[in-house]
Every structure is written in structure tokens, then in C-alpha cells.
Amino acid sequence: MNTLQELTRIVQAAAAADRTEDQVKLIVEAIHRAIAVDVCSLYIAAADGAMVLVASHGLDQQAVGYSRLPAGRGLVGRVAQTRHPINVAKAAAHPDFCYLAETREDEFTSFCGVPVVRAGAVVGVLVVQSREGRVMSADEQAFLVTLSTQLALVLPPEPLAVHTPASAVRRVRGVKGAPGTGIGSAWLCENLDLYSVPDRPCEDPAAAITEWHQLLSTVSKDVANERRALGDQLSEGVSGVFTAYQMLLNDPGLRLGVEQAIAAGQWLPGALRQVVHHYAEVFLAMEDPYLRARNEDLHHLGNKLYQSWAGASANLPADEHGPLILVGAKVSVSDIAACDPLRLAAIVCYEGSSLSHTAVLANALGVPAVMGTGKLKNIDDGSPLIVDGNTGQVILYPSPSIRLEFERLQRAEQALKGELASLRDEPATTPDGVRVRLMANTGLLADISPGLANGAEGIGLYRTEMPFMISETFPSEEEQLHTYRQVLDAYRGRPVYMRILDIGGDKPLPYFPIHEENPALGWRGIRFCLDNSSLLMTQVRAMLRAAEGGTENGADLHILLPMVSNSGEISAFKGVLDDALQQLHGEGVNVRRPQVGIMVEVPAAISLLPAWAGRLDFISIGSNDLSQYLLALDRNNPRVAGAYDHIHPAVLQEIARITASATTSGLPLSLCGEMAADPAAVVFLLGIGIRTLSMSASKLPRIKWLLRSFSAQDAATLAQKALTLDNSADIRTLLEGALHQRGLGRLLGSE
């Protein structure tokens, strides 16, 4: 037996099965064939710890779905309890043996069971049995142990799924895309997928290239029409999502790439697939979750081009009433635009992240969204759903009592939303008079207006990578100038913190590939920029020109340096800045020296802050990267993401140390990232003295409400207590308990 081939085949087939019952049956049948045993059975752990027989080849099928072993009982329970295999020739002679009459297993003598463990917990037990009394060979047992570790990643989480009616209540976890609660009927957005297009020869390349140019023109007009269709719902800046699509449609890299593939003999859809997939993969390979999410935008646009070529169109119900929940692998902007906004209740994407354009639009529209659920099984058009964007879950076929409870929560959310709207122009001042400045994170022109609409006092982090990602070459100074000027103009009179290009081994450009064994610790951020000083000079000049005249003209530019870890990097950047200022003054441009600061995200920077006090104008804590580097955990890796928590005692201790250092040095301090929008974390940050927070625009109103309701003195007391605790769970219990006591539990989605 080729073990590797057999393992791969079984796991891939199980992952691809659409229905749970097909999945588990496939597993036991495949193992039965692979190692020639009389019985192969799969047990999955129930909520009470009992082990439920969910599939079997060899045991009585009447027992499947019903036969249960209480926690710790029988050989199966013993395997689960000890997390260790049991391999015996005579099962009945083992002291833990427990006979289940309904399975009719008395004719089988041997027993070999291995635990199936996911995230440290036993989720099932895989069992093989034979009529002959033999111990499974070392190779056979190793095969089962190896297979069990792979199956843990694809097995269904609920033990009785195989006997649960298709219309039974089910909860599916995903990623929070946009807050709120949506109740309605599913509408499946299952359009043609460009990535499924096969390779075919092109019979007439010249005609295909002409057809390609016509297709670009047609889709460009469609995008413009969709933008107008959403115009009443979206501000001009948010509808810039469509501007980004237009930029991609007009990009020479896309146009010429498809032309070249056609000229090489590929038919138009195949050529489009090749080029779109190439650029999407470049984004997907990046470590930065914001930039990685841009691969979805390219896939969306590629699908739109392909569907237009194929003559496909959205087919949403027009003659029915009631709220709709758009459901699909990647619900597109076109799907959203085609839906009556009065009926659009929520969005569910099998794939994607909270940073995709779909999530951005959902936030802007105020539509709840859950992303990355995996394919929802056993649903059709019209299936009742509840989408809880606050917790990132989808409830399929909710019972009347569950629906009533979520309708109550929905009414409470609407009431809270109304209360928060009235705070838009109010300062984030605590009851005891402490002022906190709230700013927005952004990187797309489409993100600009939501921040302003939600009362942002500036941009705390502007990611400058996007113009570089959608270009065929490094963008010119004029191209960058155009983008930066729009951002500064939109926030005229407010501070804008622009981060210099954070490109490197973890975020390669399609026209500048970088290959490293450990890109997270490699050539990135300030290191890349200083090694490519001509690119840095172009970017700095564009920033300075965009802010021409400085605060006299309302532009308040601050420059952020990412991934700084030594003094030489600060000095080298200042040398580039001095040269840029001198050049522009010589050209007659009225530029002023902006404030310059660093993002504290590399742990090495923390100890050096006192030495840098005189060289910096401000510091900003990049809480996402700092937490990951301190904990050595990738929050986007599903195998370890469960252990990631920015309210980790080590993270809190270091942030407190940074804050104390900034206070002593007199350096203005801000914090950006997910921590700034976590209500429990905000209580701690307020308590240790952080007075500027930057977050996604949609989170601003809730954090403002929290700050206006929680005294800085009480927060300081809680923060000091939190610093004495040594695990994240206790810290969360402390801080979230304080929120509940003050009637702020709604911020946690629990009241």
C-alpha cells in the first residue's frame, strides 16, 4: 500500500463530499478497503462527552446514529479519555470492554482504536475490528494514527449530523464581516466561476483579442451602472470600490496579459483565467491580511468578466417579498447591487475575510455579514437563516424560539444604532473628563467616507500598498500623488498617518518577486524601502507634494515607518526625507517637514524607545503584528489561531511598558489594530493612559459610546488588576464583567 497516496486520497475525498453522511461513510469505506479489515467505525464526541457511532462498515447499520458510549466507558471511551491508541487481539478480555448489543459486534474479536484530536480536544475515535484475533501491525496502526490527524481537520463538529434532518437547527461559525443581525431567506449566488474554465486552443486570436477589448468596455459600463444603482445607499468614497474595479479594468497588466495569452494560443476565457489567477495568487501569498484579501477582489472581477462573456446574469427573485440573505462562495459586488436594498438582510460568504470588498461594502451599507463559513450544506433558495455578524455565526433553519430571541436582539441593535448615531459629532470624553481621540484605519479610497460618516478624527493608519499592488510596474510619483492627495483632501484639517510602503518578502509584487524561507522575518517594511531608496524617494516626494503647504492648506501629514528595529533605520529614513525636502524646495514646491514616527511592532523596538525619544515625533503601536511577534502565533493560521489573543498577559505587560516609556519621553502615542476595537481591551488601554486609538470605521461609534460611559479612573483600577493576572481568560472575565456591570454588555453582543 502506498501510504501517502492512500492518505491523500481519503482526506481529499472526505473534504470534497457535500453532505456529512456521505463524508463519514466515505471515510469508513475507504479505510476498510485500504487495510482489509472486517469493521471500520467512526465515533464522534457529543457535547456531554459520550461517543456516538456515526458511521460503520461492518457493524449493524441500525445502530449508526443511535449507539452511544457514555464518557469514559468502553474501549472507545478509554481511547478518548487517554488520548492514546488501544490495539488488542481480544477486545472482550480487556478490562474496559463494554459490549453494545445493538451493534452486533460479538463476531469481531480484535480491536484497534485511535483518537481523533482537534485543537487539543478529542473529537472522535476511529476504530477497526477483525474476526480473527490479531494485533494490528505497526504499519497499520501508524496509518490509522496519521489518518486521524488529517481527519480532525475535515470531520463535522456535530456528532449526530448524519441523523439530523436537513431542516434541523444548525449553527455554523465563520469570520465577522460586518456587525448586526440579519433574519431572512437564503438566496444562493452560484454564478459561473472563472477558475473552473479549462484550457482550450484559440482558433482566431485576432478576433478573440477584439472580443476581449469589447468585453472590457462592456464590463466597465456595467460597473458604472452598478455604482449608480447603489449611489443612494453609498457615499461617494465608499462607492470607490467600483473605482477600484475600474482601475483594474483599465490596468495595462490585465489587458496586455490576456492579449499575450491569446496570442500564445489560449482561448479568451482560459487566457483571462491565467492572468487573473496569477495576480490573485500574488496577493494570496502575502502575510498582511488586508493585502491578502485583495485576491478576492481580483477573483470577483474575473468572474464578472467571465459571466459577462458567457451571457450569465444575476437572477434574484423580483416578485416575492421578505428579506433576503445573499449566500455564496464569494458574494460579489454585482450580486449586492442587483438586490433590492430594502430586502437585503445579510450576506454570507463561504470564503473571504473581514477585509474583502464584500465586507467593506456590507459595513458601509449597514448589512450584517459573515465570511469564511465553508460551504453551507443542505440549504436551498428560500431556506430560513439568521446571520449574526456580531459573533460571526450563521444559524440554519432556526426554531421559532431562536428566531424570536434574535428578533429581540435585532430591535435592541436598531435602538443602539440610533443612540450611537447621535454621538457622531460628540467627543470621546470619559465621564471624568479624559479626552480620547478616535481615528480610522484605511488603505482603499472606498474606506474613506465610512470613517468620516462615523466621526473619525483622522486616519491613524493609511496603508499605501494598494497603488503598488494593482500596477504592472512601480507606480510613478504622479500616480501616487493623485491617490495621496485624495486621502488628504478628504480629511482636510485632520491628521493623516501614512505608512511608507510595507512591501517585502511576505508581500511580493507581481513585477518584483522575492523568495525567502521565512518572509515574516525577512526583507520587508523599512528594510526593503531603505534598500530600494529610489522607490522610497519617489514615495516620500509624492507624500510631501500631496500635503503641499502643510497645515496652512489644511493638510496634516504624518509619516509612519513600519518594522523599525534599530537606530540606523530611523537615521537613514531622515536622510531620505531631508533630500526630498531639499529637492522640492529647489523645484519651487511649498512643502513642509512632516512629523515622523514609527510603528512599534517589532519587540526589539520596545527597549530602544527611550534612546529614540529625541529622534521621533510620535509612536504608534501596531497591535496586530506586535501581538503575533510576542506570542509567536499567526492569527490567520487555523491550527494555532485559537491560542491567539491580544489580551495575553505578556502583550498587556509590553503595551504598558511602551505607554510608560512614551509618557516619560513626552512622545505622543497611539494604538491601531484589532485591539483598538475590542471593548475589553479598550478598557485596559484607557486605564494605562493611551489616548489615541485607530480602528476600522464601522467600530468607531461603539468604542466612542464605551469611552463616554466608562471613567478613566475606574479603567485605571481595572488595568492595574489585569496586570497582576497571568492568563487571558481571567483578564477577559475581569474586563468584560466590568462592562456588563455598567450596562455595556451590548458591546459584547451578549445583552
Report the chain's C-alpha Rg in angstroms: 29
DSSP state of 201: B
- Which conformational region is residue 65 in: left (phi greater than 0), alpha (psi within -120 to 50 degrees), or beta? left
- Asked about 357 being catalytic, the answer comes back as yes
Catalytic one among 112, 202, 339, 672? 672
| Spatial contact of 429 and 446, defined as CB atoms under 8 Å apart | no
Instruction: For 46-85, give the DSSP string.
Output: -TTS-EEEEEEESS-GGGTTT-EE-TT-HHHHHHHHHTS-
Catalytic one among 57, 277, 299, 357? 357
Name the 3-class secondary structure at 209: helix
Q: 354-377 burial, b if ≥16 CB within 10 A, otherwise e?
A: bbbbbbbbbbbbebbbbbbbeebb
State phi, psi for 726 to the nearest 5 degrees: -120, 15
Q: Which three cell numbers stand for residue 614?
A: 529625541
DSSP state of 699: G
CB atoms closer than 10 angstroms to residue 26: 16
Instruction: For 592-624, give the DSSP string.
Output: -PPEEEEEE-STHHHHHHHHHGGG-SEEEEEHH
Place of cell 478616535: 438
Q: What is the torsion angle, in degrees rounded to the nearest 10, for the CA atoms of residue 215, residue 217, residue 218 and residue 224?
A: 140
State phi, psi for 297 to the nearest 5 degrees: -65, -45
Q: Which three cell numbers stand for residue 333?
A: 459586488
Contacts of 294-297 spanning 24+ positions with Cβ under 8 A:
294/466, 294/469, 296/330, 296/351, 296/352, 296/353, 296/356, 296/357, 296/358, 297/244, 297/245, 297/248, 297/356, 297/357
Residue 716, judged by CB atoms within 10 A of its CB (0-12, 13-18, 19+), counts as: middle
Kindly give, in sequence order, each residue whose CB lies less than 8 Å from that of residue 316, ignoring residues fewer than 6 positions away: 187, 324, 335, 338, 339, 340
- Asked about 202 being catalytic, the answer comes back as no
How far is it, in rounded angstroms, from Cα 293 to Cα 65?
Answer: 40
- Which conformational region is residue 72 in: left (phi greater than 0), alpha (psi within -120 to 50 degrees), or beta? left
Instruction: For 90-126, give the DSSP string.
Output: -GGGSTT----GGGT-TT---EEEEEEEETTEEEEEE
What are the DSSP E strand ranges found in 391-516?
393-396, 428-429, 435-442, 459-463, 495-499
Find the angle CA(687)-CA(688)-CA(690) to the nearest 5 degrees: 95
Q: Which three cell numbers stand for residue 263?
A: 496570442
Closest residue by Cα to residue 158 from 148, 168, 149: 168
| Spatial contact of 501 and 531, defined as CB atoms under 8 Å apart | no
Catalytic amino acids? 357, 672
